[in-house]
Homo-oligomer: A and B are copies of this chain.
Amino acid sequence: MSAADVSALDTSTARVVGVRRAEAVTEAVGERRYLHAGPPLTLDELPGPMRGALAGALVFEGEAASIEEAEAIVAAGEVEVSSAHAAGGVGAMAGIVTPKMPVVVVEGEAGAVSFAPVNEGLGQALRFGSSTPEVLERLGWLRDVLAPVLDAALVELGGIDLTAAQAEGLRRGDECHNRNVASTAALIAQLAPPIVGSDADREDAAAVLAFMAGNPHTFLAFSMAAGKAVAIAAEPALPAGTVTAISANGRRVGIRVAGAGEEWFTAPAPLGKPKLFEGYTAEDACPMMGDSFMTETIGLGAFALSASPAIGSFVGISVAEATEVVAEMRRITAGTSTRFLIPAEEFRGTPIGIDVAKVAAERIQPVVNNGFAHREAGRGQVGAGMTRLPLEPFVEAAKSLGLAPEQR
């Protein structure tokens, strides 16, 4: 069998055009209708961090005056949640998106639009299930101050090419999933002139730039939304069985594949072997959760691990081992990127186009980079690491599409 043509993943580009309230971008959010990360789940199934984030979100939206009141609304089933993917959106960790939440708006080819909530920074954050007054106050500031400032700057610039930014990120040691520092700085360098030149309040503008510069994951929201926009646009041109989404909700991890429409193939969410921050044990970690694996879906993150020795060392693996991981991923992908190039591999492209038939035949578990939330709401991040995905969703998808496992 000849290599499948996944060039659509290699030619599709993404561009951030604004930072706006989610309700301006998608009709999938509304009064007490919110989005969550990962494959669909019911209110009852929400894992701890998502439940915490949902309660905070209800207060943020003015639906509840307190977290207790918000929890009662959830308990009474008086709020709807649905998978962000159905709306073309993505969210890190819990990934709760509400109408007034500021999102990065990314346009792909052929009218594709994706979005992701603005990254709130390290420490306590809604995406980890925190809903303290500080977390909600910051969300309000992101909505009222940061979003308008960034939106005006992006409009002034005519947007920023995120595909080019990701390609340059690899040259600067980011894998654009767990390491985003250089890409964040590059983003700030592009946005600072129009921000300063705008008529925004000066203290506000300075605070926006300081907030972005102080958060090494500022670029993550841009990167994952770019992944989704590329996948959406590429999907119609991809061979059946090419993975178009990897995502988890703390209960299940799921994939979507070309040829199977909106169907999710899922398995219980794995924990893997997180490198835990001091003071935590594996018991503390919530299983895989979030949509940031859209970066792996398009050939970044763990699929570009050897481009980012610093993240390798952070999760405890050497450059040689990172290169082996990427080599392994080459065996389950159909193509090689011509734009996401790995400097340490003499500028060889990253593997793109995960082929479920190859995964099933090779029985190689795809690898993703990962951050881990505490399994209890509001306790924050407890670690990071690499996670092997279970084979079941890939095998199921291959069977469902009638793809014979490809032979070696």
Contact = CB atoms under 8 A, between A and B. Distances in A.
Interface of A: 171-173, 181-182, 184-186, 188-190, 192-197, 202-203, 205-207, 209-210, 212-213, 309-310, 313, 318-320, 343-347
B192 A188 contact: yes
Contacts of A195: 192, 196
Contacts of A186: 182, 185
Contacts of A343: 173, 309-310, 313, 319, 344
Nearest to A188: B189
Contacts of A196: 192, 195-196, 202, 205-206, 209
Given A189-B189, A193-B207, 4 more contacts: A171-B173, A197-B205, A309-B347, A310-B343
A166 to B, nearest CB: 14
A408 B173 CA distance: 37
Contacts of A185: 182, 185-186, 188-189
Contacts of A310: 171, 343
A208 B20 CA distance: 28
Nearest to A318: B346
Given A173-B343, A185-B182, A346-B318, A197 B202 contact: yes
A207 B320 CA distance: 44
Contacts of A347: 309, 313
A146 to B, nearest CB: 13
A173 B212 CA distance: 22
Nearest to A310: B171
Nearest to A194: B206
A344 to B, nearest CB: 5
Contacts of A171: 173, 309-310
A399 B346 CA distance: 42
A183 to B, nearest CB: 9
A83 to B, nearest CB: 34
Contact of A192 (B173, B209, B319): B209
A197 B184 CA distance: 20
A272 to B, nearest CB: 23
Interface-central residue, A171, A203, A346, by most chain B CB under 10 Å: A171
A134 B185 CA distance: 30
B193 A189 contact: no
A203 to B, nearest CB: 6
A232 B254 CA distance: 59
Contact of A213 (B184, B192, B210, B212): B192
A189 B213 contact: yes
A30 to B, nearest CB: 36
Contacts of A182: 172-173, 182, 185-186
A309 B203 CA distance: 40
A190 B213 contact: yes
A193 B172 contact: no
A313 B341 CA distance: 12
Contact of A344 (B197, B206, B344): B344
Nearest to A183: B185
Give 6 closest A-B pairs by Cβ, nearest first: A309-B343, A197-B206, A193-B210, A185-B185, A192-B192, A196-B206
